[in-house]
Structure 1
Amino acid sequence: MGFRKRMEGPAALGLLLSLAAAAQAPQGAYQQAARLPARIVSFTAQPALIQAGQSSTLSWSTENPSAAEIQPDIGMVGARGSLQITPAVTTKFTLTVHGPNNQVLTRDLVVTVAGSVPAAATATQGGGKNEIPRMPDGKPNLSGVYNSGFPGTFFQGGPAMNIGGVAQPDETKPALKAGAEKFKVVRGPNDAGPSANCMPPGLPQSYFLPYQWQIVQGLNSVVILYEYPHLFRVIPTHGGPHQPDLDPTWMGDSIGRWEGDTLVVDVAGFNDKTELTGGFRHTEALHIVERFRRTAADTLEYHATIEDPNVFEKPWVVSRKFPLRTDLERVDEFVCENNKDYTGLFAK
C-alpha cells in the first residue's frame, strides 16, 4: 500500500541450546487468567482525516488477547500500543484479536486522505508481483523455503544475542516465576551446548538457526522441513484436539487450524530436553501456539506464544518475519555426527 510506519520494538531475544531436566508441572495460576475472554477496548486514529503526505497515529488497547494484528500491511502487534502511519490513499484498517476457544474479534476504522481514491478501489486484481499465492481451496499457500535471516554470529551461552528473522513489535520478554531460577541456562567456558552433539533444538528455536527451513502445504496438512538437524513435522490442519497421554517428544505434537489467512498450530506433548529462545529450560508442561501468515509473496510472518506454568509468570511472545528464498526449491541434506569422529565419517 505504500505507507510508512514507525514504532519501537523490544531488544531481540537470545538463542541458547542445551539439555536439562525439569520438575513435574502443577497448574499455574496464569493459565486460568488466560481463559478469560478477549476484548477490544479501543481502536482509534488521530487525526482520521489527513492531507496527502500527512501522518495519523493509530492507537489500540485490548484485554486478554492470545494474538492481535492490524491490516493491511502492519501485521502482528502487542496487546496495546500506537504507531504512526502515512497512507497514500484513503485506507480502512482492521484490528483483529484472537482469544481463547477460537474467539475472534474485529474492529475497523478508516483514515481518509483528502482527494484520494480508497485503497480497495486501486488494488491490483490478480497477477500482481506481490500477490500472495493460494491453494485450490482459496487458503494462502505458505509453501516455500525460508531464510532465518540470521543477523549476527551464532553463539552458545553468555548474554542474549540476536536471533533469526526480523523482530516484530509484539515480541515480549519472558519473566521467570519466583523460585524458578534453576531453569535459567548458565554455561561454563567449555560448554558448547547440545547443538555440538546434534540434539534437536526444539521450538521455536528451530526457526532461528543459521539454516533454511521449508513448508510443504497440502489441502489437509502442512509439513515443515528443517535443514538442521534434518528434522520434520507433519501438521494436520483439521483443528481437532491432541490425543490423550501423548508421549513426550523433542518437537511436540502439532495440530493446525485456519483462522482466515492465518495458520494456527497448537503444540503440546514436549519432553523437557530442549532450551527455549532466550536461554531457558522448561518442563513437559510447555505449550506453544504458533501463527504463520504470508504477508506478501516473499515474506512469512511467524508468531509464537510460549507458556510453561512451572517456569514463567505468564505467556510470552516471539514474533518474526522471514524472507522467502526464491532461488531455492528445497532444503539441503544436513549431516551431523556429534563431533565425536568427524574425520572418520568421510573416510573412504
Structure 2
Amino acid sequence: MVALRCATVAAVLASALAGQTTQGQGKQDQAKQGPSGAYQQAARLPARIVDFKATPASIQPGQTAMLVWSTENPNSVTIEPDLGTVTTRGSKQVKPSATTTYTLTVRGPNGDVTRSLKITVAGTVERAATAAPAAEAVAPKPTPRMADGKPDLSGVYNSSSFNFGGVAVRGQNTPIAATLKKGAEKFKIVRGPDDAGQYSTCSPTGVPGAYFVPYQWEIVQGRDRVVIVYEYPHLFRVIPIDGTPHPADPDPTWMGDSVGRWDGDTLVVDTIGFNDKTELPGGFKHTEALHVVERFHRTDFNNLDYEATVEDPNVFEKPWTIVRGFPLRPDLTKVDEFICENNHDYSKFFEKK
C-alpha cells in the first residue's frame, strides 16, 4: 500500500510537472501570464466507484446481506437509504424488511458518480425510494466552538479536488492569477520531458503547495497553538496563536516560520522564513523573500474556506491570492502514515525479518 500510494502521487504529479515544458517566445509569453494547461489536466483526479456489491443479492425475510464498496478520490461518500455518509471503502451488514435499491454516491471534482444495486427480499414489494429534496432541506450542522468561543477548526480535510493550474473546480475556488515581474521569467518553471520536479523526490511541498496534492490533511487546535499535519509527504506545522512573534532572523526552511492570530472567526496565519527550494501552485519558483498569509474560516461543521495571499517582491508584480474550499472528512479521525524514499526501491519496506 505504501509503495502504491507513493507511486500514484509521483506518477500523477510527475506527469503534470513534466508537461510544463515551454518552447519558443510565444509559449514563454503565455508562461509569464500564468500556469499552463498541463497542471489543469492533472488537477482533476476524478472520483470513481471501484466496486459496489451485495452478498447475497436475494434473501428471505429476516435475513441479512452484506454491502461492500470501494471508491477513489472522493470528497464525500454516501449510501442511501438508511446508511448516509460512509467511509471511502468498507462493508456494512443490512437487514432490509422489503426489497430495497441501495445507491452509492461519490462526490468529487468531476461531480457526482452513482451506482445502484438491489437486494431482493422474497415475497415483498420494492421499497419506495427516499425523496432527495427532503434530504437537501436539512440545515448544515453549525461550526463547532472551543471553550473560549472561538471556532474549533479541528478535523481531517480533503484536498482531492485540488487545482494546480488556474481553473476553478469548486464553487469557492478562484483561478491562479500570478504575473511575473519583468526580468523574472527565470522563476517560471520550464521542464523537459524527464524532469518531474520536487514531487518525484518527495521533497517538502511548502506553503501553500501542501494543500494542492490529492491527500488529506488535519488540523489539531489547542488553546495557544494550532498544529497542521499533512499526509503527503508526512509534514507538520506548529503555529502559535498566543501572540508569539516571528524570530528576528528566522532560519530558512521548507515550510517557513508561521504565527497565527484570530480575526473574528477567521484564523489568520502569517508565514515567512522560507528557503527557495519549493514550488508554488501555478508552476513558479520563488526566493527567500516569499511571504504567505493564510486565512482559515470554518463556515459550518462540514466545510472550511481557505485563502492564501502569496507575495514575493523579487518574482511577482504584486501579491496574488488563491481561494479554496475544503470539505471535512467526518469518517476519518487522523491522516495516514506516508512513507516516501525518493521514489526509489520500496521492496525493503515489505521484507519480512
State how far apart, in whole Å, the 1-side matches of 2:332 and 2:271 are.
28
Q: Is the 8 A contact 2:166 2:175 kept in 1?
A: no
TM-score scaled by length of structure 1: 0.59
TM alignment of 1:1-348, pairs within 5 A = 129-150=140-161, 160=165, 166=170, 168=172, 172-348=176-352
Letter in 2 for 1:335: I
Structure 1 window deviating more from structure 2 (285-294 vs 203-212): it is 203-212
Aligned residue for 1:305, secondary structure, equals strand
Change (3 A) 1:259 1:151: closer
**CA shift digits 1:258-289 (9 cap, x unpaired):** 00000000000000000000000000000000
TM-score scaled by length of structure 2: 0.58
Q: Is the 8 A contact 1:146 1:323 kept in 2?
A: yes
Q: Aligned residue for 1:92?
A: none
Q: Is the 8 A contact 2:257 2:273 kept in 1?
A: yes
Change (3 A) 1:278 1:228: same
Change (3 A) 1:207 1:169: closer
Change (3 A) 1:314 1:167: farther
Between the two structures, name the one with larger relative contact order (CA 8 Å, sep ≥ 6).
1
Q: Is the 8 A contact 1:17 1:276 kept in 2?
A: no
Q: Is the 8 A contact 1:16 1:279 kept in 2?
A: no
Q: How far is 1:166 from its partner?
A: 2.9
Change (3 A) 1:253 1:238: same
**CA shift digits 1:162-203 (9 cap, x unpaired):** 58x736366550010000000000111111211111100111
Letter in 2 for 1:136: A
Higher share of residues assigned helix = 2
CA RMSD of aligned residues (A): 2.2
Q: How far is 1:133 from its partner?
A: 0.4
State how far apart, in whole Å, the 2-side matches of 1:133 and 1:323 are.
15
Q: How far is 1:340 from its partner?
A: 1.9
Which runs of no fewer than 5 residues in structure 1 stay unpaired? 1-14, 19-127
State how far apart, in whole Å, the 1-side matches of 2:315 and 2:17 are.
17
Query: Equivalent pairs: percent with the same residue?
Result: 63
Q: Is the 8 A contact 1:149 1:166 kept in 2?
A: no
Aligned residue for 1:194, secondary structure, equals helix
Q: Aligned residue for 1:97?
A: none
**CA shift digits 1:47-90 (9 cap, x unpaired):** xxxxxxxxxxxxxxxxxxxxxxxxxxxxxxxxxxxxxxxxxxxx
Q: Is the 8 A contact 1:222 1:237 kept in 2?
A: yes
Which runs of no fewer than 5 residues in structure 2 stay unpaired? 1-14, 19-138
